[in-house]
Structure 1
């Protein structure tokens, strides 16, 4: 039996090329799902973060239940560096070195306040961003289901925007 190499190569290249869109779509969906789960876990930390008696051990216990390594691998390190920096500052506040001064402790408390605000705001920002993406996704799905309605609304909105721009110029 003889192998037809040109057809085999063309078939392999076409098969690989045609499977790429599905691969990228699946990867984006997986990243979106992991992002939603991380946002849910980050937002679930908020009551603990606002507790008056927040300690490193309480925060570590709460975050140890999350698959942080999986989240970090899929989403990237930025959110997790922020969380680790906050945990490190909590350790620094709870267990100051023997050579630390009052100024060092005050500086650590200031960094803890700043990192606390950044961490809470990051969770809220991610939540708002995911909601916006969800609304855009639903809008796109609706436009695919009813393309004539979508086109009619698009044309109507175009003329409304044009009318507003003319009125704003006058």
Structure 2
């Protein structure tokens, strides 16, 4: 497999894993600040890059609502955040990681229409030069996909298109 012009056989496994950013339906959040939850994947980011990530992920708007801004403490794996807020943190993590390939695995399940539209905009504008796989049960993202593969399960049969 070729990823951004490089044969994956020439890339060691650790380097290959660093190329992927995953935004899943259920993300794990540490009992720590929003900033530390974003930065744990890449401690070497400078403040200006971090601010750019907040803007691209639209977390900039979210943290303005909290008295402690990005020092707002996340508790109990994010029970004090909405599903959409958690997803934006997951996107910011992947951006901080500097991923080349993004996998959105049911990342828009159980979130409101506004956050879905935000995620769509992030994919269209901020990740336009990246490879994005969007795994979903609905067709909300069909309009932004270059290629769409719809799978249908037939009982007793293998998965087919």
Shared fold (TM-score, shorter chain, > 0.5)? no
Larger RCO (alpha carbons 8 Å, 6+ apart)? 2
Q: Which has the higher helix share?
A: 1
Q: Which has the higher strand share?
A: 2
Larger C-alpha radius of gyration, 1 or 2?
1
- Give the TM-score of the pair, scaled to structure 2: 0.27
